[in-house]
A = this chain, B = another copy of it.
Amino acid sequence: MAGEKGVKLLGIWYSPFGHRARIALEEKGVDYEYIEEDLSSKSELLLKSNPIQKKVPVLLHNGKPICESLIIVQYIDEVWPGKKPILPSDPYDRAQALFWSDYVDKKIYESGMKLLRAVGEGQEEAKEFTENLKNLEAELGERKFFGGEVFGFVDIAMVPFTNWFYSCEAICGLKVDEAVPKLAAWANRCRERESVAKTLPDPKKVLESVVDFRKKMGIQ
């Protein structure tokens, strides 16, 4: 299945967006070939497959490209419905799952990036990131996963960004475990899943790449 007519995923090891696609493929038990991209020298395959954005991840299924991580996860859910649905079947619940995943993109990702690139102590950035996490924690409530008993769409959308928590503490002292304990406990539950454990890189390695990036950009 992993050949020309199978399933390929173009990603970058540290990209949370790529992790979403990988976790979804693992959850569905889809056999796929992972291809690591080099953003400083993008492959012909990437440029041909995503000529508009030239970004990872790109899923190639039978040679046809699908771009944008949340769209890829929806596609995977529709093509391999199987025993583990990722999105709920009820239209209202689906809309809520799409809303909170969009929130992760617009709020968690954006404020997290600001924090990782913060100049100085980053207290303002830490405050904004924490407030956004608190909204997400309130949405989680007392549930096991955002999908209730089921590890679902919002879980997949958010869990890759929990890999940033270690870097947040190292860079500006933000203790995510204390700020959002329920969300931190949820992150740990997610990380026990095989699909997540085998996909997410070591948070220490992520910190190294963040530190490298900050050095290159001259951020102190």
The answer to whether A99 and B68 touch (CB under 8 A), given A75-B91, A78-B94, is: yes
Q: Is the CB of B71 within 8 A of A91?
A: no
B-side contacts of A75, CB under 8 Å: 91-92, 94-95
Tallying the copies of this chain within the complex gives: 2
Within 8 Å of chain B (Cβ to Cβ): is A74?
A: yes
Q: Is the CB of A99 within 8 A of B78?
A: no
B-side contacts of A92, CB under 8 Å: 61, 64, 66, 75
Within 8 Å of chain B (Cβ to Cβ): is A13?
A: no
The answer to whether A74 and B98 touch (CB under 8 A), given A79-B91, A92-B66, is: yes
Interface residues on A, range: 20 to 34
Beta-carbon contacts under 8 Å, A14-72 to B:
52, 61, 64, 66-68, 71-72
Within 8 Å of chain B (Cβ to Cβ): is A102?
A: yes
Instruction: A95 to B103: give the CA distance in the assembly, Å.
Output: 20
B-side contacts of A135, CB under 8 Å: 52
B-side contacts of A99, CB under 8 Å: 66-68, 71
Interface centre among A68, A72, A91 (most CB of B within 10 A): A91
Question: Which of B61, B71, B91, B103 is the one whose CB lies under 8 Å from A102?
Answer: B71
Taking Cβ atoms with an 8 Å cutoff, the residues of A that contact B are 52, 61, 64, 66-68, 71-72, 74-75, 78-79, 91-92, 94-95, 98-99, 102-103, 135
Selected A-B contacts with CB under 8 Å, 21 pairs:
A52-B135, A61-B92, A64-B92, A66-B92, A66-B95, A67-B99, A68-B98, A68-B99, A71-B95, A71-B98, A71-B99, A71-B102, A72-B95, A74-B95, A74-B98, A75-B91, A75-B92, A75-B94, A75-B95, A78-B94, A79-B91
